[in-house]
Amino acid sequence: MTYTTKQWQAMDAAHFLHPFTDHKALAEQGSRIITRAKGVYLWDSENHKILDGMAGLWCASVGHGHPELVEAATKQMSELSFYNAFFKTATPPAIALASRIAELTGQRFRHVFFACSGSEAVDSIIRTMRHYWTLKGEPNRQIIIGRQYGYHGSTIAGSAAGGMEDMHKQAGHLPGFTHITAPYWYGLGGGLTPEDFGLQAAQALEERILELGPENIAGFLAEPLQGAGGVIIPPATYWPEIQRICRKYDILLAADEVICGFGRTGRWFGSDTFRIEADLMSVAKGLTSGYVPLSAMLVGDRVADLLISEGGEYYHGFTYSGHPVSCAVALANLDIIERDGLVEKAATQGEKLRAGLRERLADHPLVGEVRGVGLVGAIELTADKRTRAFFPDDADVGMRCRNHCFQNDFIMRAVRDTMVFAPPFIIDDEQIEEFVARAAHAIDLTYAEIKDAGLL
Ligand code: PMP
């Protein structure tokens, strides 16, 4: 298809409804058309080479265009492009992948249910938690506790479980969901130490459980670190306290590892990094490095044993649950991650990236904090370094910075005034230097622009 950029943009604006997009604004501006990618770089239809600081959308862990994944997909498509798992049937890639995932979790999760998106994996967790309590003879335990700024996908249940108010307004408010505060020390911690604030934020869970009655709570659903909410990394005191509270009230704990799973935090799972002992986990993105859609709900023995022994028929599933091509690609992807030591690489390269950013930006008047773990992190833009003050919402400072990144062939995402990043694990030292230089340049341009606009 040899269209010009303008023709692509016109067709795009006429027919393609994008996810999480103001369509009117986009149509006026025109989309950037991404046409190919290799390693940590993307190219657009004007042949600009763009450094992908977001690994697609937190997913391209092994980098773009890896020939082994192309080969795995081709081989599986030629052999068996699709068969379902409904008819008392299964395909070798799905079986092998379920067993491989169980092994990677150290057999903490011995059962795996496949879906296509992170949202579907989360939906599966929500219904499985409720089903569990019904089987236990406590059908009133229906409420799912999530968190402010939590993101669990965009299905009706996923958006209800998440803590994004704008999504609730459009999707409607489902009963059976409630949200507690986020462990966002930088934004909400005020004068408390991170440790004290972490404890306080965790204790909000206990308060909510007591307020609603433990006999009505199915479980607590949370990301190990809150990715789309702005890479909110909880203080060290947070997770142990959450764990204690869940145990005390016998509440199921579900870790949404859609971003963290398979190495992003420098360990195989975010639960390893933050020492979370969850009953259920959702994974997606890094499972296939985003080459094909695949997600999974991982089920620990506490839930799986009951579901299998007393659950009868499980009325849940998708046409593509355990899609053989997706599972074959996932197996090849996990092979690459293991063979090339990419989990360890995420840890070491992440440290170098943060050190580089801090060295370059720590004294920058616009930068309040650089934080991260493994290869996921954030740069807070601030109106006042000392008080960690945010800009007014309508100043759109994060979006201005994102635009400067984009115009200068570099991708970071803006969440409010927080710039977030999650590059591929294969990013090398030279590319880290390039990342730091481009991030600093975009922040300098943003600073100049907001000074001109009288916002500082
Ligand atoms: N959970 C988390 C933690 C996520 O970050 C996301 C996506 N960013 C989802 C769920 C939803 O995944 P998907 O977009 O594949 O439905």
Residues 265 and 348 reside in one and the same domain: no
Q: Is residue 252 part of a domain?
A: yes
Binned at pLDDT 50, 70 and 90, residue 112 comes out as very high
Residue nearest to atom 3 of ligand 1 (CA): 258
pLDDT of residue 96: 98
**Ligand 1 atom nearest to CA at 19:** 14
pLDDT tens digits, residue range 253-262?
Answer: 999 999 999 9
Centroid of ligand 1 to alpha carbon of 115 (angstroms): 12
Burial class (CB in 10 A: 0-12, 13-18, 19+), 81: exposed
Single-letter residue type at 14 = A
pLDDT of residue 270: 98
Same domain (yes/no): 111, 42: no
Q: Given pLDDT bands bounded at 50, 70 and 90, which one contains residue 455?
A: confident
Total domains in the fold of the chain: 2
Q: What is the pLDDT of residue 1?
A: 65
Q: Is residue 14 part of a domain?
A: no
The stretch 258-278 carries a mean pLDDT of: 98
d(CA 57, ligand 1 centre) in Å: 9
Cα 151 to averaged position of ligand 1 atoms, centre (Å)? 7
Do 47 and 72 lie in one domain? The reply is: no
Q: Would residue 8 count as lying in a domain?
A: no
Residues with CB under 6 A from ligand 1: 117-119, 122, 151-153, 223, 227-228, 256, 258-259, 284
Tell whether 228 is covered by a domain. yes
Indicate if 247 and 290 belong to the same structural domain.
yes
Q: How far is the CA of 7 from the centre of ligand 1 (A)?
A: 31
| Residue 10, in any domain of the structure | no
Ligand 1 mutation pick, 152, 164, 288, max ligand atoms within 8 A of CB: 152
Counting residues of the chain whose pLDDT is more than 70, the rounded percentage is 100
Looking at the structure, tell me whether residues 48 and 191 fall in a common domain.
no
Residue 140: which domain range?
A: 68-339
256 with 361, same domain?
A: no
- Residue 177 and residue 254 in one domain: yes
> If DSSP states are collapsed to H, E and C, what string results for the chain?
CCCCHHHHHHHHHHHCCCCCCCHHHHHHHCCCCEEEEEECEEEECCCCEEEECCHHHHCCCCCECCHHHHHHHHHHHHHCCCCCCCCCCCCHHHHHHHHHHHHHCCCCEEEEEEECCHHHHHHHHHHHHHHHHHHCCCCCCCEEEEECCCCCCCCHHHHHHCCCHHHHHHHCCCCCEEEECCCCHHHHCCCCCHHHHHHHHHHHHHHHHHHHCHHHEEEEEECCCECCCCCECCCCCHHHHHHHHHHHCCCEEEEECCCCCCCCCCCCCHHHHCCCCCCEEEECHHHCCCCCCCEEEEEEHHHHHHHHHHCCCCCCCCCCCCCHHHHHHHHHHHHHHHHCCHHHHHHHHHHHHHHHHHHHHCCCCCEEEEEEECCEEEEEECCECCCCECCCHHHCHHHHHHHHHHHCCEECEEECCEEEECCCCCCCHHHHHHHHHHHHHHHHHHHHHHHHCCCC
Q: Are residues 183 and 39 in the same domain?
A: no
Average pLDDT (187-210) is 98
pLDDT tens per residue across span 58-100:
999 999 999 999 999 999 999 999 999 999 999 999 999 999 9
Last residue of some domain: 288, 305, 339? 339
CATH number of residue 322's parent domain: 3.40.640.10
Same-domain check for residues 209 and 248? yes
Inter-residue contact 439 to 419 (CB < 8 Å) = yes
- Residue 363: give its domain's CATH number: 3.90.1150.10
